[in-house]
Structures are given as structure tokens and as C-alpha cells.
Structure 1
């Protein structure tokens, strides 16, 4: 449990930001689905039933035991062994997707560098998994809330830009490696999300996501970004 009570905005930023982050990386796996309907069904079941149910149960356990750590809370209920196996299997089935998504993102980063094709995907995945284990052993959980809050501001503007381009920009023609419009829109969304968090206004991830999407539309058609420097 937090040493001091947190505000409603901070709490919702952590929860909603985590959901948005999960939704952002699911295409890495959902692209293997046979149809769009399978993706929709899987998303509804995973987020509305799976995530909500687990978080609701976790909140009840934390309130009843006074422990914010899942393992300690379950131990307080006399379910330490159940907590151990639950944690192992849940992490095993969840973190493999996170490792895959992170390694895939890193592959995209090095795609246009001289290292592309020289570093195997499995080596990147192993390195990321090792770093995750080292950070976990080093006690990163003790500072997890600031990290979650940071990610809740950093990640949500990304799907905002993606949705804006997919739904409102007809046949986008990208001839550039770096999309400066998207980066600026992402920064705008992140800044407005941060302001929302600091002022306690609404839900910061939602503010950041919609702000980035709205900002991207005029930026995409701006004459300034059609100059050779940004082409």
C-alpha cells in the first residue's frame, strides 16, 4: 500500500495507463489472428473480463489485508503456496508477450541501422528478459508507482496518433523514416497529460491520448511540415 494516500487522478492514471499500454502492444500478438472479429472478441474478454476481474479482486484483497503486495496479501490470508504458483504461471504467460513486444520494438529501431539482420531476435529477447530479472531482483518494485505514472503519460499519446491517422487521414503517404508530425503530437499529448496529472484534472492517459490524436491532424496537413527538411 502507498505510504501516503494518492489522489483519484493519480490512481486512475496508473490503472488506465496500464490498460492503454496493454492495448498498444497487443497488435504484436493479435496480428496472427485469423480475422478481425477474433481480435475484437479477444480484446473484450481480456480487458473487460480478465483485467477488470483481476484488478477488482486485487483491490478487495489489498483492502482486506492492508497489503499492496500480492504475495504478502495472499500470505496474510494463508494462501502463500497458491500465491506462488499463481504468480509463476501468470507472469510466465504475461511476460513472454511483454518480452516479445519489447524485442520486436527494438528490432524496428535497429531496422534502418547497420546492425539490422546481424542481431537475432532471440538474442534481443534474452537480453531484455535478463535485464527485467536484474531490475526485479534489484528492488525496482519499490519505485514502481513513479514508473507506472511516467509510462501512463508516455504511452497513451502513441495510440492517439495511430488512431488519428487510421481513421481521419485518407491514404497517408509516408516517404520519411522519422515522422516529425507524430513526434510533436506525441509530445503535446504527453505534456497535456502531465498537466492533467499535476492539476488533478480528469484522467491523464485519456487526456494525453485524445490530445495527441487531435494535435496530429492539423500537424499532418501543416505547410511547415511539407518543407524539404521534414519530408
Structure 2
């Protein structure tokens, strides 16, 4: 299911954007490797929190930001998923219009059809997500293998590929932010799946496989096509390769597996935000909102959107991990017994510090955001009790240490 989530065409578009900006070897290869490592390390940490606690990201955020403060993270994560859903919906509509040589007037009806249709498997639930992924993941692997072989032939083999690409249109920091930003928003919510894992090995291993190998493969596939053909639009690359017809079917499955996981993430955050159990209604409402955003032109905002995700989302995960590993030492108290404050001020302040570091400190914005948020929270959480009494006094009374296994039993 996580591979189906990370096998996403937008990641190939992001890879294509950096593929035309850097020489394939060693610059581009190192950027993809470093960016994928950063993303995988970050998401794996959150995946372990989900397994160990048995809680979704939204519920972990309640400990980190407070009962009311967690609604901020719900809103931010939910809105990012709506943005991805809008982009995927617009993309498949535009691809079909190009392939079938339809008039521009067909885009709007197709956006409506796909915008509402893609949410059906998420409407069913995790079983629907898993069933679709079993079909789409092998299909996408086949497409990548064929497209890569054609690209290598066009570049006259490995030696020709190593000479492709240029430099100057993106900085290394911007390129790394794009690689991380492709799935940092979805990866921050990985606990929505790993909370169901049967073991730590399963939770950590599947997360590493999806976000290092799966996401890295998507970036590399887009980058190689762009490096060889000089095109940053993966649809145009497939057309040049003569793979557009077969590619569209596989891209359709590929987009669908990410769309349903994306809107599922939105439903989890939305249900927590509104404190409701009407998940299916929230799912449909999110799909409708994403469809509306697709109609407003989300297709053209992909790269700025990825950069924004790489700046403002990682500090959320940094705070959650610091809260779990430093403050609670790897075990949350029982959620129904914990007397949480409305606003956990150290968590909110640490998020602000992480975001500021991602924006202003030289270096790699996602790394700056994660590290700054983690360290800021670790320091603030250790403030003397008279400074931080609004958070500590109510929690220490009922710290009943409950293991992650017990949480899963309680659910």
C-alpha cells in the first residue's frame, strides 16, 4: 500500500524538473540519493512512532500541540493533501485530452469525473486501497523499466546518459527541497498506516522501502527521461518514446493509488479536526474540494507547491518525534486518561522555530526545519515546571505508561 502511495506521477514531474538542471553523474545521482535518504529517515521515524503508539498522526499531534492546538496541524496536513489530490485530478484529465486529441472543453467534465471517482477506494477504506495497489504497483514498475530502457537506447547507453544534463537553473538546496517535498506531506502522515503494522520490522521496513526506494525510483525515472530528452513534462517524454498509449493506462493506475491514499489522509485529519466519526462524508467533501482546486489550475503550481511542502511540513514531524522520544520517552500515556492542555505552547513554539529555520537559515530547508523543531522542542519541554506548568502538571498526574500493543488492543 505504501509503494502504491509513493508511486506517483508528480514525483516523476519533480524529478524531471531537476533532471534538466544537473548533469546526471555525479550531481543528479547524489541529489536523488541524499534527498531520498533525508525523506526516508524522517518518515521512518514517524512510522515507528505510529507503530509503537498505535495512533494516527492526528492523534500524536494532540500530544505534541495540545487538544485545540492539534487542529492547526490537522488543517495544514489536510490542506496539503487536498492540493495533491487536485494536482492528480487535473493531470489525468489533461493527459487524456492530449492523448485523444479532445478539445479543451473536455478538461472540465473529465476533472469532475476523476475528482469524484478517485475517492471511491478511499470511501471503502484500507481494503480498497490495498486491492488497487496490488494491481497498480507492478504496472508502474513495468512502465518505468520500459521507459528507462528506451531512454538509455536514445542516449546511446550509460556513457551517453552520464554526459546529459546541464546546470544553473536550480540550486542544490532547491533540488533537494523538491525531492523531499514530493512526499513530505504524505510521509508525515505515515502513522495512519504503520499503526496497523504487526511488528517494528514491518513498520520500519515497509516505510524505508516505500520512501527511499519507491519515491527515489520515481524521482530517478523522471530525471532520466528529462536528462535524455530535455523535457520536464513526463507526458511529453512518454510521447517522444512512443509509450503514451500504454503509459497513460499505467499512469492512470499510478495516480489513482496515490489519490485514494491522499484523500484517506485528508479524511483522518478532517475527522480529527471536526471530532467526528463520519469518515466517508469527510472523504467525499475532501474530494469535492480537491476537484474545485483542480478547476482553478493546480496543474501549473506543482514545483512551487513542492518547495512550500519542503519548508512548512517537516517541522511538524520534528515536533511530534521530539515529543514522543524525548518528552514521553517512547511511550504515550493512554489518550483517554491524559489531561492534555488546550494548547501545548512548547510544541507550537518549536514548530514556529523550525519553520523559521527552514525559511531563513542557509542549507537544506527540510533538514533545517526538522532539526530545529526537534531541538527546540527538546529544550522547551525540559523547562522548569513553574514555566511550563500548564502542560506538565496535568500530565504527570496520569502518566499511566501504556505500551503501543495495548493501544492497538484498545482500538
Deviations, residues 68-102 of structure 1 (Å, cap 9, x unaligned): 22222211221111221122111111121111111
Whether the aligned pair in 1 keeps the contact of 2:311 and 2:358 (CA below 8 Å) is: yes
Alignment partner of 1:216 is 2:377: yes
Cα distance in structure 2, aligned partners of 1:85 and 1:126: 25
Deviations, residues 121-146 of structure 1 (Å, cap 9, x unaligned): 11111121222233234321212222
Which of 349, 357, 366 pairs up with 1:192? 357
Whether the aligned pair in 2 keeps the contact of 1:156 and 1:205 (CA below 8 Å) is: yes
CA drift of 1:227 comes to 4.8
Q: Extract structure 1 runs of 4+ deviating beyond 3 A.
A: 1-4, 170-174
What is the number of equivalent residue pairs in this alignment?
220
Q: Which runs of 5+ in 2 are unaligned?
A: 1-16, 22-167, 333-337, 395-411
Alignment partner of 1:76 is 2:240: yes
- For 1:125, the equivalent position in structure 2 comes to 283
1:28-177 equivalent positions in 2, closer than 5 A: 28-111=192-275, 116-117=276-277, 120-170=278-328, 175-177=340-342
Range that drifts further, 87-96 or 216-225: 216-225
Whether the aligned pair in 2 keeps the contact of 1:65 and 1:77 (CA below 8 Å) is: no
CA drift of 1:208 comes to 0.3
Whether the aligned pair in 1 keeps the contact of 2:180 and 2:310 (CA below 8 Å) is: yes
Q: TM-score, normalised on structure 1?
A: 0.86
Say what the alpha-carbon RMSD is for the aligned residues. 2.4
CA drift of 1:58 comes to 0.9
CA drift of 1:179 comes to 1.9
- Tell me, what secondary structure is at the counterpart of 2:340? coil
Whether the aligned pair in 1 keeps the contact of 2:177 and 2:310 (CA below 8 Å) is: yes
- Tell me, what secondary structure is at the counterpart of 1:224? coil
Deviations, residues 177-228 of structure 1 (Å, cap 9, x unaligned): 33221111001100110013xxxx3211011001000000222233433259
Answer 1 or 2: higher relative contact order, Cα 8 Å, separation at least 6.
2
CA drift of 1:54 comes to 1.6
- For 1:182, the equivalent position in structure 2 comes to 347
- Tell me, what secondary structure is at the counterpart of 2:300? helix
Q: TM-score, normalised on structure 2?
A: 0.50
Q: Which runs of 5+ in 1 are unaligned?
A: none
Whether the aligned pair in 1 keeps the contact of 2:181 and 2:308 (CA below 8 Å) is: no
